[in-house]
């Protein structure tokens, strides 16, 4: 993991905690060793991630689904927060009490439709629903959340789909099994940013920062987020470099 990623992870956890969330890590042992043992991030609980096939690691929403399933299965409310999301303000109550909530709704893409239709065991029959962006995702309807997670994981891990998914675009596949699936199951879902990702001012007003989509590789966007982190958590920001360096040189 690069230093930039380590700083984003650190900022994400610290901002979530400041916003009143209880940080819980669901990860494999490598993730636990780095984020907890190496970076010392203040998670309140660490839960082992269920085993997923190595050849599907790029379909990263399978990890989100596994984590949400574990928490929902315990009858507890949880919100997945991406490692590149900073909650500079607490989430509004309409999000926290929603049956399910996400970042914003968006229309399906030709790439996602094509992938779904190519799968021997497709996630959807016919046209895809709209998606619900998952920079944050979660809600209080534990039973329905668990059902979506089980259904998506079952189809994604179906042996007949393995060869296609092994070479599929990880982001596109993730949207099919995660963001489209939750939107379809939750017509009553609530979005944090009703006008979508094209209105940057809405992100600032919500105190919600996310290097989403194309911004994941946008140096300017990530630098802006890290400048907020450096200014608002100066001690912790300064500690990320020596912690990161020590982990790789121990």
pLDDT digits (tens, 9 = 90+) for 214-240: 445 555 678 899 999 999 999 999 999
130 with 223, same domain? no
Q: Are 195 and 106 in contact (CB under 8 A)?
A: no
**Res 212: pLDDT:** 65
237 with 193, same domain? no
Q: Tell me which DSSP letter residue 195 carries.
A: T
Total structural domains within the chain: 2
Q: Where are the alpha helices (DSSP H) in the chain?
A: 3-18, 29-32, 61-73, 93-96, 110-118, 142-156, 162-166, 170-174, 180-185, 200-206, 219-232, 234-249
> What residues are paired with 208 via a beta bridge?
87
127 with 204, same domain? yes
99 with 157, same domain? yes
Q: Give the separation between CA 22 and CA 13, rounded to whole angstroms.
A: 9
Q: What is the dihedral of CA 209, 214, 218, 222, to 10 degrees?
A: 20
- Phi and psi (nearest 5°) for 197? -80, -10
206 with 247, same domain? no
234 with 116, same domain? no
Token pair, residue 61, equals 């929403």
Domain around 233: 1-49+219-250
Whole-model pTM?
0.92
Share of the chain above pLDDT 90, in %: 89
Per-residue pLDDT 10s for the chain (250 aa) are 899 999 999 999 999 999 999 999 999 999 999 999 999 999 999 999 988 999 999 999 999 999 999 999 999 999 999 999 999 999 999 999 999 999 999 999 999 999 999 999 999 999 999 999 999 999 999 999 999 999 999 999 999 999 999 999 999 999 999 999 999 999 999 999 999 888 889 999 999 999 865 445 555 678 899 999 999 999 999 999 999 999 998 7
68 with 110, same domain? yes
Token pair, residue 230, equals 């450096």
Token pair, residue 227, equals 């400048």
- The number of residues making up the chain comes to 250
Token pair, residue 219, equals 């140096």
82 with 206, same domain? yes
Token pair, residue 19, equals 């916003």
80 SS3 class: strand
74 with 107, same domain? yes
Q: Are 2 and 62 in contact (CB under 8 A)?
A: no
If one counts every other C-beta atom within 10 angstroms of the C-beta of residue 2, the result is 8
175 with 66, same domain? yes
Burial class from Cβ neighbours inside 10 Å (0-12, 13-18, 19+) for residue 29 reads exposed
How much is the mean pLDDT over the chain?
Answer: 93
Residue recorded with tokens 């315990």: 74
103 with 160, same domain? yes
């Amino acid at each position: 993991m690069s230093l930039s990623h380590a700083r984003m992870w650190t900022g994400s956890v610290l901002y979530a905690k400041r916003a009143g969330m209880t940080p819980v890590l669901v990860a494999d042992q490598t993730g636990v060793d780095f984020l907890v043992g190496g970076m010392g991030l203040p998670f309140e609980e660490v839960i082992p991630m269920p085993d997923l096939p190595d050849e599907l690691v790029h379909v990263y929403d399978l990890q989100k689904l596994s984590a949400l399933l574990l928490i929902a299965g315990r009858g507890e409310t949880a919100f997945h927060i991406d490692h590149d999301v900073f909650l500079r303000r607490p989430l509004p109550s309409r999000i926290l009490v929603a049956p399910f909530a996400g970042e914003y709704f968006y229309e399906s893409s030709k790439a996602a439709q094509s992938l779904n239709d190519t799968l021997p065991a497709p996630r959807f029959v016919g046209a895809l629903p709209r998606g619900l962006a998952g920079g944050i995702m979660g809600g209080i309807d534990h039973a329905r959340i668990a059902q979506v997670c089980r259904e998506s994981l079952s189809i994604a891990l179906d042996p007949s789909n393995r060869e296609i998914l092994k070479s599929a675009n990880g982001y596109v596949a993730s949207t099919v099994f995660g963001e489209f699936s939750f939107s379809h199951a939750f017509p009553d879902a609530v979005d944090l940013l009703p006008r979508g990702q094209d209105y940057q001012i809405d992100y600032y007003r919500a105190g919600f920062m996310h290097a989403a989509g194309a911004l994941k590789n946008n140096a300017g966007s990530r630098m802006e987020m890290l400048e907020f982190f450096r200014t608002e958590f100066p001690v912790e920001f300064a500690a990320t470099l020596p912690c990161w360096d020590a982990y790789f040189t121990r």
